[in-house]
Amino acid sequence: MHKPALRGRQGPWGWLFVSPSVLVLGLFLALPIVMALWVSLLDWNGQSNPFTGGQATFVGLDNYRGLLTEDGLDRTLFATSLRNNAYYVLLFVPLSTGLGLTLAMIVNQRMLRGRSLLRTTFYFPSVTSTIAVSTIFLFLFQGSGAVNSLLSWIGVKGPNWFADPRGIVWVTLGNLGLADPNHPSGFLTDHGFMGLSWFEWLSGPSVAMSTMILLATWTTSGTFMLIFLAALQDIPRELEEAAALDGVNRRQLLRHVTLPALRPVLFLVLTLALIGSWQVFDMVYVMGQGAPGNTTLTPAFMSYQSAFKNADYGQGAAIAFILFAIVLACTGAQRWLLRERNPRQGRRR
Amino acid sequence: MTPTTPVEPDTRAPRPPRTTRRPRRARAAERPVLGRTRLPWRIAGYTLIIALASLYVLPFVIQLATSFKTDPDAAANPLALWPGTPTAAAYQRLFGIAESHETVPFLRWLGNSALVTVLVTAGRVLFDSMAGYALARLRFPGRRLLFVLLLAVMAVPGVVLLIPKFLVLSTFGMFDTYAGMVIPLLVDAAGIFIMKQFFESVPREVEEAARIDGAGVFRIYWSVVLPMARPALITLTILSFQGSWNEFTHFLVSTQSAEYETLTTGLARFVAGGLGSGTQYPLKLAAAALSTIPVAILFFCFQRYFIRGANAGSVKE
């Protein structure tokens, strides 16, 4: 046939069609990564051109060492940011996934009135900009704001949310009388890891950080709801009817039919939540820029701060690459789990 | 050829039109699998659902109410759903109608956001669909490698690129220009991926017929394939509009002058730094409300496509 001739004509066209994309993605995604890798090995203040020599000095792995192994302020700050973000992950991932699944199940009820209105309601926060909803939350969670007025109705005196650096673990233990946050045990304060005492590591997210976790859960649960909803509607009805004939109750149906069918999507949502939660930036910028007491500082924001506020671009780039490694490790771990449990679902990539 | 994904993006070839607005499956099976729950349980359930729904709605209602309050009223009655003395002062200040020494260049933010959004959306729709078509249909050397690279690029988390993007922009002399704000956003890997998946689901026969009639590659793409791709193009347009309207980090690192501030960067700097000059919450919340309106309108008109987009985005990882 004349196929080879056709193919010959398609070659240049193919490249012509992809060339704008290759150009933009190459120049603004691939090239930057290579450049930043080089900058992360420099001591550079952002003034001169780092690629022609000039004032930038090649310092090898010093930026990475300063963050990970050498005792100093930088390492303590970086460890603090890792702690903050780790607690964020620990709370945000299960909360948003669980809430997303719950909302999807509610909206998927066949006999429920106003389902599409509910779906719209739950999803709407997800389409608005983080900056705009952060502004709303700053207002709602002021010391004398709407949330605290609401709490005072039931006799609770709310904290000064965004200005409260206390870790919630010690606050809770202190209120229960199990520990005294003001006089922690010597072992916890004297020993530590990466320049941060165990007392600090174990403090849990600060009240301010917890408020940000609430905001993130509120804005993300709608997206996860839609993903779960699509999967719920793909469960064959015959499967549920067969189970109903066997006389199962609601809880058994959920446990033995619905949840197993949702497993691949559950893993997908968990990955999305995990990757997203290591990238918290917009919220931090609006809601405190690390304050109070560096308890809302995340690695992503610290990377920005090092470069654009403290003019230490080498350190900023190094943090970005450590963050990249963390995200890759999380994705890798998740993909490995997915492959273990669903051998046939493995993606060809 | 298509990677097996748990959630297939719903951007396949046009389906037969639906007769009602309900999802297909719900119509086919209106009856629940298990019988109805008892009345008291149902009442409890509805109460709980209404409480949950108000958690999602109330913040926006309070936002709107507060934007019409005076500063002292907003501070004294943060929970009031109706302003004590309704005033549009915040909006007048934003639009420069009322003279005030403490105001923000809101119209400039709005103009910049609109300009950037229009350019980025147009660019993404054109370039993403061209690249998606080439990757799905055209045979050319390096195609397979390009697709692998595309998937690799999609895996790079956005915040990792903050400093790198700044480096490239300043090297090219594009820092603090409109070009630097727009050009890096003109193509997005996830959009190419969505379009590629769509084009793979279109039957080849139509293109073959056009080819036999003597149409060239570009003509087939432009007058045969693109018109069929309407649903996918609408999804892509909406995703791009929403993405670039809400974009924050890229503008933060690609500009520094006040004249290039958009609704997101302008509002963020105002909210994060404006603590010295009183809280001015009515003004901040009014600005936030106005910046939400375009996306909100789009959302309420094209909800179907947003939902597709959410599921298409889920393959992006």
* Contacts with A, B 182-201, CB within 8 Å: 183-184, 186-187, 189, 192
In words, the CATH class of domain A65-167+204-345 is mainly alpha
Domain B106-313 fold: MetI-like fold (1.10.3720)
User: A206: which DSSP letter?
Assistant: B
A90 touches chain B (CB under 8 A): no
What is the interface size between A and B, counted as CB pairs within 8 Å? 310
Query: CB distance B156–A29 less than 8 Å?
Result: yes
Residue of A nearest to B248 (CA): A282
Please tell me the distance in Å from A251's CA to the nearest CA on chain B. Answer: 11
Tens-digit pLDDT profile for residues A265-278:
888 888 889 888 99
Q: Would you say residue B275 has pLDDT above 60? A: no
**What dihedral do alpha carbons A305, A310, A313, A317 form, nearest 10°?**
-30
pLDDT band at A52 (very low <50, low <70, confident <90, very high): low
With CA atoms as reference, report the closest residue to A147 among B53, A155, A139.
A139
Delimit the domains of chain A by residue range.
Answer: 65-167+204-345
Choose the closest CB to A132 out of B6, B164, B292: B292
Which residues are within 8 A (CB) of B314 and not within 5 positions of it... i.e. 6 or more apart?
Answer: A227, A268, A269, A272, B7, B9
Confidence grade of residue A213 (pLDDT, cut at 50, 70, 90): very high
User: What is the CA A14 to chain-centroid distance, rounded?
Assistant: 37
Task: Name the residue with higher pLDDT: A118 or B306.
Answer: A118
CB contact under 8 A, B272 and A286: yes
| Interface subset of A 232-251, CB within 8 angstroms of B | 233, 237, 240-241, 243-244, 249-250
Which runs of consecutive H residues, i.e. helices, occur in chain B?
Answer: 24-28, 39-67, 71-76, 89-94, 106-137, 143-154, 162-171, 178-182, 189-201, 205-212, 217-219, 226-228, 230-245, 249-254, 263-273, 281-301, 303-313
Contact B78 A142 (CB under 8 A): yes
B50 shares contact with chain A (CB less than 8 Å): no
Highest mean pLDDT: which range of A197-211, A216-230, B5-19? A216-230
pLDDT of residue A341: 53
CB-CB under 8 Å, B285 with A136 = yes
At residue A98, the pLDDT reads: 95
Q: What is the pLDDT of residue B287?
A: 92
The Cα–Cα gap between A181 and A85 comes to: 22
Res A252: pLDDT:
85
- Give chain B's length: 317
Q: What is the mean pLDDT of chain B?
A: 83
The pLDDT value given to residue B182: 95
pLDDT attached to residue B102 = 62
Query: Whole-angstrom Cα distance, residue B112 to residue B248?
Result: 13
Q: How many CB atoms lie within 10 A of CB A252?
A: 12
- Which residues on chain B are in Cβ contact (under 8 Å) with A109? 32
Q: For residues B284, B286, B288 and B292, what is the CA-based torsion angle, rounded to 10 degrees?
A: 180
Q: Could you state, in order of their start, the residue ranges of all structural domains in chain B? A: 37-87, 106-313
Q: Which of A27, A244, A275 is the closest to B157 by Cβ?
A: A275
pLDDT the model gives residue B58:
94
A288 within 8 A of A208, measured Cβ to Cβ: yes
- Nearest residue to A92 (alpha-carbon basis) of A278, A289, A228, A287: A278
Residue entry with tokens 């709605």: B57
Instruction: Work out the pLDDT band at A349, boundaries 50, 70, 90.
Output: very low
Q: Shortest CB distance from A127 goes to which of B163, B165, B242?
A: B242
Using the Cβ of A252 and the Cβ atoms of chain B, whether some distance falls under 8 Å is answered with no
Which residue of chain A comes nearest to B141, CA vs CA? Answer: A11
pLDDT digits (tens, 9 = 90+) for B216-231: 888 889 988 899 888 8
pLDDT the model gives residue B5: 36
The string of pLDDT tens digits covering residues A136-149 is 999 999 888 888 88
pLDDT higher than threshold 60 for residue A5: no
List, for residues B180-236, the tens digit of each pLDDT value.
999 999 999 989 998 998 898 888 888 888 888 888 888 889 988 899 888 889 989
pLDDT of residue A88: 95
Dump pLDDT digits (tens) for A97-137: 999 999 999 998 877 888 889 999 999 999 999 999 999 99
Yes or no, beta carbons of A21 and B187 under 8 Å apart: yes
Question: Residues 105..124 of B with a Cβ closer than 8 Å to A: which?
Answer: none
Q: Measured between alpha carbons, how far is A199 from A91 in angstroms, rounded to an integer?
A: 19
Q: Which of A227-236, A263-272, B32-41, B125-134 has the highest mean pLDDT?
A: B125-134
- Angstroms from B97 CA to nearest CA on chain A: 23
Structure tokens at A72: 């100093």
**pTM > 0.95:** no
Report ipTM (2 d.p.).
0.85
Residue with tokens 């002062």: B89
